[in-house]
Amino acid sequence: MHATKVTDDIYQLSVNVDNILFEGLWEIPNGVALNSYIIKGEKTAIVDGVCGWEGVPGQLYELLDKLEIDPKSIEYLIINHMEPDHSGWIEDFKQIKSDFKVVCSRKSAELLEHFYGHTSNILIMGDNDTLDLGNGHVLSFYEIPNVHWPDTMVTFDNLTGTLFTCDAFGSFGKAEEANYDDMLSEDKLAFYEKEAVRYYSNIVAAFSGPVKKAIEKCAKLPIKIVAPGHGIVWRKDPGRIIENYSKYASYQKGPAREEITVIWGSMYGMTEKAVKHAVKILEEEGIEHHVHRVPETSWGTVLASVWTSTGVILAMPTYEYKMFPPAAAILDEMGKKKVQNRIAFRMGSYGWSGGAQKELDEITARNKMNWSFLEPVEFRGNASDEELKLIEERVRELVRAVRSSVK
């Protein structure tokens, strides 16, 4: 937990959380930072009062104390997005102060009532509406619907050029004391960029269309600092995270990077032997690849990997006339996250009837994934030498197709 100065009159209060599944679902091996911001004009506002998870509000009060800010002096609680990781603190705050004003979008106001029973002292903001905090800090608001919920907006401080972006431009990864791009080494920045891909693919991916629209809208503002609700603050090169997000959004429909993700599962090692052969070919070809066994690897890790990969190899056996269940589950989740237009190859073992392939066709069709599949290789029990040769040919064909589609 850190309280740091972003720029004149603006401070970041950052609380790290780990040992949870984010949204009750996503593994966060490197934790996540929940960022609130204080803007001090003549009046004081807090942007995104983090969450109500156990222990977090207490840490926020400690940070306010460090900055010598009396929580009772906060007049405006700006909520860019009503998801409880950005709004949950309101319940706590209400217990110490009753006459603050909530500043939020119209859609957020509806949720405010249903989530927290809060219906009074609400200032509803739409595009270009402003709030003057005094001392030159005039805030403007812009709606960025569906990044990540329909209610989301961003807050822009016109004096300092600071854009408070909530979920947009965020990343996983705990915050350190130096939670600013200008204070981090290139290695550390690369770490947060990787965490940004994990965050994007797990949390925001399905809304890549709205992300593009949000970027177009924000591009019109004279942004000097990007201050997200998760991850690091970009004040040396705010364009870097905006460009990154623009790339991540484009990966939804592909092509993504010149990479191949292998997702595989196996009960008795027969598919596994074929996977080892395929991976050996990928190594020979010298293409960047990521290999994930399911269900051992979490959905979040597989999604982050497939999001940046143009090519996918799916390998799994038939199980009770269908696809090996954890492979079917992650494939379906990829469909829901709209991982589209990948170039793919599927192989796998079966005993007597097969069935994995049929379910694959169903899942990709149902989710309108529009993947382009090479001819699959299915083998009974262990793959024969001829079948291994076929697998090798297909893998090389996949590598060629990925390389030519990325260039």
- List residues near Fe ion by CB under 5 A: 83, 85, 148, 167
385 contact choice in ligand FMN, Fe ion, none (CB below 5 to 8 Å, kind-dependent): none
Q: In DSSP terms, which residues pair with 322 in a beta bridge?
A: 319
Q: In DSSP terms, which residues pair with 288 in a beta bridge?
A: 259
Degrees (nearest 5) of the Cα angle 272, 278, 279? 90
**DSSP string covering 79-135, please?**
-S--SHHHHTTHHHHHHH-SS-EEEE-HHHHHHHHHHH---SSEEE--TT-EEE-ST
Structure tokens belonging to residue 42: 């003549």
The enclosing H or E element of 327 equals helix 325-336
Give backbone dihedrals phi and psi of 7, rounded to 5 degrees, phi first.
Answer: -165, -175
Q: Which of 138, 166, 180, 158 is nearest to 45 (CA)?
A: 138
CA–CA gap between residue 357 and residue 364 (Å, rounded) = 11
Candidates 161, 209, 354, 376: give the one binding ligand FMN (CB under 6 A).
Answer: 354
* 29 is a site residue for ligand FMN (CB under 6 A): no
- C-alpha count within 13 angstroms, C-beta hemisphere, residue 251: 27
How near is the Cβ of 234 to ligand FMN at its closest, in Å? Answer: 45
35 contact choice in Fe ion, ligand FMN, none (CB below 5 to 8 Å, kind-dependent): none
Kindly tell me which of 87 and 349 has the beta carbon lying closer to ligand FMN.
349
Kindly tell me which of 267 and 365 has the beta carbon lying closer to ligand FMN.
267
Kindly tell me which of 247 and 380 has the beta carbon lying closer to ligand FMN.
380
How near is the Cβ of 297 to ligand FMN at its closest, in Å? Answer: 16
Candidates 5, 351, 370, 400: give the one binding ligand FMN (CB under 6 A).
Answer: 351
Kindly tell me which of 126 and 381 has the beta carbon lying closer to ligand FMN.
381
Contact by Cβ (8 Å): 315, 294 = no
How near is the Cβ of 347 to ligand FMN at its closest, in Å? Answer: 10
CA–CA gap between residue 350 and residue 354 (Å, rounded) = 5
* 150 is a site residue for ligand FMN (CB under 6 A): no
* 267 is a site residue for ligand FMN (CB under 6 A): yes
Candidates 270, 303, 395, 399: give the one binding ligand FMN (CB under 6 A).
Answer: 270
Q: Which of 332, 298, 304 is nearest to 201 (CA)?
A: 304
* 165 is a site residue for ligand FMN (CB under 6 A): no
* 296 is a site residue for ligand FMN (CB under 6 A): no
Kindly tell me which of 129 and 378 has the beta carbon lying closer to ligand FMN.
378
Kindly tell me which of 203 and 347 has the beta carbon lying closer to Fe ion.
203
Candidates 4, 271, 305, 367: give the one binding ligand FMN (CB under 6 A).
Answer: 271
Amino acid at 13: L
Region for 343 from its dihedrals, namely left if φ exceeds 0, alpha if ψ lies in -120 to 50, beta otherwise: beta
Candidates 319, 332, 334, 360: give the one binding ligand FMN (CB under 6 A).
Answer: 319
Kindly tell me which of 94 and 273 has the beta carbon lying closer to ligand FMN.
273
Candidates 286, 296, 353, 385: give the one binding ligand FMN (CB under 6 A).
Answer: 353
How near is the Cβ of 228 to Fe ion at its closest, in Å? Answer: 9
Site mask, ligand FMN, residues 358-387, x = CB under 6 A?
-----------------------x------
Candidates 8, 247, 288, 321: give the one binding ligand FMN (CB under 6 A).
Answer: 321
The answer to whether the Cα torsion of 44, 47, 48, 51 is positive or negative is: negative
The enclosing H or E element of 239 equals helix 238-251
Round the CA-based radius of gyration of the chain to a whole number and report it.
Answer: 24
* 180 is a site residue for ligand FMN (CB under 6 A): no
14 contact choice in Fe ion, ligand FMN, none (CB below 5 to 8 Å, kind-dependent): none
CA–CA gap between residue 394 and residue 275 (Å, rounded) = 12
Contact by Cβ (8 Å): 148, 159 = no
Report the interface residues with ligand FMN, using CB under 6 A: 266-272, 317-321, 349-355, 381
